[in-house]
Amino acid sequence: MFYGSIPALITPFKNGEIDWPAFDSFVEWQIDQGSHGLVPAGTTGESPTLSHDEHKKIVKRCVDIAAGRVPVIAGSGSNSTKEAIELTQDAKTSGADAALIVTPYYNKPTQDGLIAHYTAIENAVDIPIIIYNIPGRCIVDMSVATMAELYKLPNIVGVKDATGDLDRPLQTLREIGSDFCQLSGNDGTVAGFLAQGGVGCISVTANIAPALCSQMHEAWRAGNMDVFSDIRDRLGPIHDALFVEASPAPVKYAASRLGLCHDDVRLPLVKASEQCRAIVDSAMAQAGIAPGKKPLAANG
Residue 181 bridge partners (DSSP): 158
Phi, psi of 218, rounded to the nearest 5 degrees: -65, -40
Report the C-alpha gap between 93 and 186 in whole angstroms: 30
Catalytic residue among 56, 57, 92, 160: 160
Report the C-alpha gap between 109 and 104 in whole angstroms: 7
Report the C-alpha gap between 108 and 38 in whole angstroms: 28
State which H helix or E strand residue 236 sits in.
helix 225-241
Rg of the chain over Cα atoms, rounded to whole angstroms, equals 18
CA dihedral 118, 103, 17, 93 (to 10 degrees): -20
- Full DSSP string of 86-135: HHHHHHHHHT-SEEEEEPPTTT---HHHHHHHHHHHHHH--S-EEEEE-H
Active site residue 60: no
- Which one-letter amino acid corresponds to residue 258? L
- Which one-letter amino acid corresponds to residue 39? V
Catalytic residue among 3, 105, 118, 132: 132
Which residues neighbour 16 within 8 Å (Cβ) at sequence distance 6 or greater?
Answer: 264, 266
Q: What is the number of other CB atoms lying within 10 angstroms of the CB of residue 173?
A: 16
Nearest to 132 by CA among 145, 121, 141: 141
State which H helix or E strand residue 176 sits in.
helix 168-176
Active site residue 252: no
Catalytically active residues are 132, 160
